């Protein structure tokens, strides 16, 4: 069934709900602006404890971390670190307002699909996530971040093209047919098609005069963005600075997530139930992936390779 936030009547439906007014206001903000920030959702003490746990894991796995450190001493984003650092999981399960906002938008309990742990800002250009988080039904996904440290211009913050989630979808089928010659030949991901899609989205948003805003946040602030919101990481002015943050990709339980072959071929019939199991964590569901972690999707380590703390 179509998620509540995806229905044309979403704003009216949510406005009519008898729920915490704060949750309602944040949910309506996601529908209207494409994002919302729940301020001080997690205490500074809890954020510091998570960074300390990360430092312990780093020390316990010194060799692996050393081979992934860049010349400035920082790591690229780490994929699914929560699989070996369970101290990250309460940022999901024990983040009540932020989680309720997603539940209300989904009209169903929110589950954790995958995560990215950032030590520094991403400096990624503006992009939509949907080509690599292509669900069935479509667009049934949220990106979300808990900031473990403040983020602003010096250490790189998130930029958002406000309202860009409402721009109509591009002619994806036409783009993919031209690029691959046939929809049957669509690959899992493709750098050139990614750039073409994202550049066109951003150019259309700029032509419409949509504002690009920099989100300055404090420790513990928790963000939710709409699956179609163009967003990215601003340039880092002081490369020595860290900007610890934990990005979570969420869906309702059992919603499957695909890549380009689903996104650029929206009529393709694919299972509407995820092919992976979920485990219970503090009353919430977390996708139970067992293939380990990776540094920037490039260097992979199995669960057995990482010593736990
Ligand atoms: O936090 C950031 O700098 C960007 C995060 C992002 O764009 C993403 O994870 O898709």
What DSSP string runs through 127-195? B-SGGGSEESSTT--EEEEEESS-BSTTT--EEEETTGGGSPP--HHHHHHHHHSSGGG--S--HHHHH
State the distance from the centre of ligand 1 to the C-alpha of 193, rounded, in angstroms: 19
pLDDT at 2: 84
Atom 6 of ligand 1: nearest residue by CA position: 232
Nearest ligand 1 atom, CA 233: 3
How many beta carbons lie within 10 A of that of residue 125, not counting itself?
14
How many beta carbons lie within 10 A of that of residue 204, not counting itself?
16
Contact between residue 141 and residue 259 where contact means Cβ atoms under 8 Å apart? no
30, two tokens:
């996601």
Tell me, using a 6 A CB cutoff, whether residue 233 lines ligand 1: yes
User: Within 13 Å and on the Cβ side, how many CA atoms surround 88?
Assistant: 29
pLDDT at 1: 72
Domains and CATH numbers, the chain: 29-305 (2.60.120.620)
State whether the Cα torsion 211-215-221-225 is positive or negative: positive
Pairing of strands 142-147, 293-295: unpaired
Q: Which of 302, 160, 215, 193 is nearest to 39 (CA)?
A: 215
State the distance from the centre of ligand 1 to the C-alpha of 303, rounded, in angstroms: 25
Tell me, using a 6 A CB cutoff, whether residue 231 lines ligand 1: yes
pLDDT < 50 regions, the chain: none
Tell me, using a 6 A CB cutoff, whether residue 256 lines ligand 1: no
> 111: alpha, beta or left, given left = phi > 0 and alpha = psi -120 to 50?
beta
Tell me, using a 6 A CB cutoff, whether residue 101 lines ligand 1: no
């Amino acid at each position: 069934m179509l998620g509540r936030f995806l229905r044309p009547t979403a704003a009216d439906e949510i406005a009519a709900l008898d729920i915490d007014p704060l949750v309602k206001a944040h949910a309506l903000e996601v529908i209207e602006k494409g994002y919302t920030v729940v301020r001080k959702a997690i205490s500074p003490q809890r954020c510091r404890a998570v960074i300390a746990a990360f430092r312990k894991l780093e020390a316990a796995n010194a060799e692996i971390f050393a081979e992934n450190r860049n010349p400035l001493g920082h790591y690229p984003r780490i994929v699914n670190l929560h699989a070996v650092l369970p101290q990250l999981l309460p940022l999901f399960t024990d983040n009540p307002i932020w989680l309720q906002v997603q539940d209300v938008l989904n009209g169903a309990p929110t589950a954790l699909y995958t995560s990215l742990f950032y030590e520094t800002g991403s400096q990624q250009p503006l992009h939509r996530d949907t080509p690599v988080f292509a669900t069935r039904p479509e667009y049934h996904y949220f990106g979300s971040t808990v900031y473990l440290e403040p983020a602003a211009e010096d250490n790189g913050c998130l930029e958002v093209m406000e309202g860009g989630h409402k721009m109509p979808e591009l002619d994806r089928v036409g783009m993919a047919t031209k690029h691959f010659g046939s929809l049957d030949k669509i690959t899992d991901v493709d750098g050139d098609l990614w750039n073409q899609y994202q550049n066109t989205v951003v150019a259309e948003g700029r032509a419409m005069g949509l504002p690009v805003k920099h989100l300055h946040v404090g420790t513990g602030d928790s963000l939710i963005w709409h699956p179609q919101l163009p967003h990215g990481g601003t340039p880092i002015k002081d490369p020595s600075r860290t900007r610890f943050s934990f990005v979570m990709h969420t869906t309702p339980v059992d919603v499957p997530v695909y890549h380009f072959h689903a996104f650029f071929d929206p009529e393709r019939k694919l299972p509407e139930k995820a092919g992976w199991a979920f485990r219970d964590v503090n009353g919430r569901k977390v996708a139970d992936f067992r293939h380990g972690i990776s540094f920037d999707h490039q260097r992979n380590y199995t669960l057995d390779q990482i010593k736990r703390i």
